[in-house]
Amino acid sequence: MQRRTWGLHLLLLLGLGLGSWEALPPPCESQIYCHGELLRQVQMARLYQDDKQFVDMPLSVAPDQVLQRFSELAQAHNFSIPQQELQDFIREHFQAVGQELQPWTPEDWKDSPQFLQKILDPKLRAWAGQLHQLWKKLGKKVKPEVLSHPERFSLIYSGHPFIVPGGRFVEFYYWDSYWVMEGLLLSEMPGTVKGMLQNFLDLVQTYGHVPNGARVYYLQRSQPPLLSLMMERYVTQANDTAFLRDNLETLALELDFWTKNRSISVSSGGKSYVLNRYHVPYGGPRPESYSKDAELAATLSEGDHEALWAELKAGAESGWDFSSRWFVGGPNPDSLSSIRTSKLVPVDLNAFLCQAEELMSNFYSRLGNDSQAEKYRNLRAQRMAAMKDILWDEEKGAWFDYDLENGKKNLEFYPSNLAPLWAGCFSDPGDVDKALKYLEDSQILTYHYGIPTSLRKTGQQWDFPNAWAPLQDLVIRGLAKSPSARAQEVAFQLAQNWIRTNFDVYSRRSAMYEKYDISNGGQPGGGGEYEVQEGFGWTNGVVLMLLDRYGDRLSSGTQTVFLEPHCLTAALLLGLMLSLLPQ
């Protein structure tokens, strides 16, 4: 399909709903990494346990030559190439995964960052030191060949080295990198953070947004927008106002992407509001999960394939790939084939954008641009009004995703329901106490190894019994920011639970994981499309943040004393009495 016809196809898409294969453009132009017969044949032959392996392999020769030789091979076998010949073809024309990257030890890494001294428990302090060492293991640098011959790689060139999540994720990812950066700043590595920030800013300059990750097949989808927050954290620590000044318009450009491409109008009580959603109107199976997407589509009528694939990409853009959160309202709320991500207005996305608007207003004020500061202040005020009217539920005391098609909130539990506390996007101080009661009413404080991602068990990785580090942070810091002593004590207890889970698993396996199964004492997580991955960037970052915040109180002890909600008041009174005793 030619690029010039895509606009027409998109107009048809918007007017008529998703149609045939040709109705949507592919996620990128590469006929090797994003669409085409070669990709289809290789992925459907299932030569690799993980589809991502093939689309991460660099080419040995120019893509035109590869496509020409593949065409000859396909025709010679009437487009049914024997598996052995397909494997031989790949061996001849592709290189092993990771050839385009080299290990990199951050130049600003140092032996003993200050925050380690704040951790009183010697076992936890030693563990934090080992996590600090992991930054060296997770450091990567792109080889210069990717710049000189970009057409031979699915990796997008980055001029600065970076920290990756780990495992199968050998490139950097958007929202992962925020928690990685928080950990790096505690490790006193602002130079590494600045380089990673510059990579993201370069992507915005080139593509108008930050892609999901640094691969061409991720180009048309983003991830939860935390770039402005990354900038705020770096500038605050390094006091680098010049860097902020040089890149403020690029931050504005990224928010424009969400305004232009991910906005949706929602009406309530005669008023119309603009909020945001995840929405990726691009065609075909996801290249990195091609065979799984094709198999799933085969369970539906052919006319529904494109809609399914677009919704899967939107789910990937959300960062929650995949969750029953996106199945609600579908024909089978336990099945991935019911995914309808773009039909929901997510609480966390709008909280992140609300926070970004506040940060942008502050940035412009700091640099003396009052008109732009007021613009973002007004945008934030409008969003907060919309979130209050559309997403907030006074009776339940939390915010909920809004179902656009069915005109109602999704009242299921997710940690994202409290994201506005974390983002500071609420106006009534009493909302914190209501949210705390919501956690109690949902029985969330009875889970002793971490906050579950949902209360539904579907086999998807962003569902029960998995718990994820960034979602612990959303709830813990949301409560910890409150002036309420009770909310702060619950935040500490949740932090203690998560630290013990991570520490216990690390003690047994000498590894950090991207997610944890909290149903039976804490284990590496499972479910989803691939095996649980070790590393792990954002898990390390959140643990270091919690150890920094609560290092004088946290314990590594295996005998956990969990406080149920009704015991918290007594515990607080006891703590107050002890604090009044003479030292």
**CA 431 centroid distance within chain:** 26
Distance CA 68, CA 206 (A): 30
Instruction: Let me know: does 134 contact 512? Beta carbons within 8 Å.
Output: yes
What is the rounded distance in angstroms from the CA atom of residue 424 to the CA atom of residue 549?
18
Which residue, among 547, 41, 3, 487, has the nearest Cα to 290 in the 3D structure? 41
> Which residues, other chains included, contact 111 with Cβ-Cβ below 8 Å and sequence gap of 6+?
none
- CA 36 – CA 79 distance, rounded (Å): 13
* Helix runs in 187-279, H state only: 190-207, 227-238, 241-261
- Closest alpha carbon to 154 in 51, 10, 261: 51
**Phi, psi torsion values for 52, nearest 5 degrees:** -65, -25
Which of the 8 DSSP states describes residue 559?
S
Note whether 553 and 492 are within 8 A (CB): yes
DSSP letter, residue 58: P
Question: Which amino acid, 460?
Answer: Q
DSSP-derived secondary structure letter, 327: T
**Number of H-type helices and E-type strands within the chain:** 21, 13
With H, G, I as helix, E, B as strand and everything else as coil, classify residue 433.
Answer: helix
Whole-angstrom CA distances from 105 to 134, 140, 141, 203 are 10, 8, 9, 23
CB atoms within 10 A of CB 237: 16
Which of the residues are catalytic? 321, 514
Q: How far is CA 11 from each of CA 18, 24, 282, 407, 419, rounded to the nearest angstrom? A: 11, 10, 13, 25, 34
Which residues does 457 contact at the CB level (< 8 Å), separation at least 6? Answer: 463, 464, 465
What 8-state DSSP symbol labels residue 410?
-
Helices (H), 33-154: 37-44, 52-55, 63-76, 83-93, 122-137, 145-148
Rounded to a whole number of angstroms, the distance between the first and last alpha carbons of the chain is 77
| C-alpha to C-alpha distance for 460 and 320, rounded to whole angstroms | 10
What's the CA dihedral at 59, 61, 66, 69 to 10 degrees?
-140
**Residue 279 · residue 314 · CB < 8 Å:** yes
Contact in structure between 475 and 542 (CB atoms under 8 Å): no
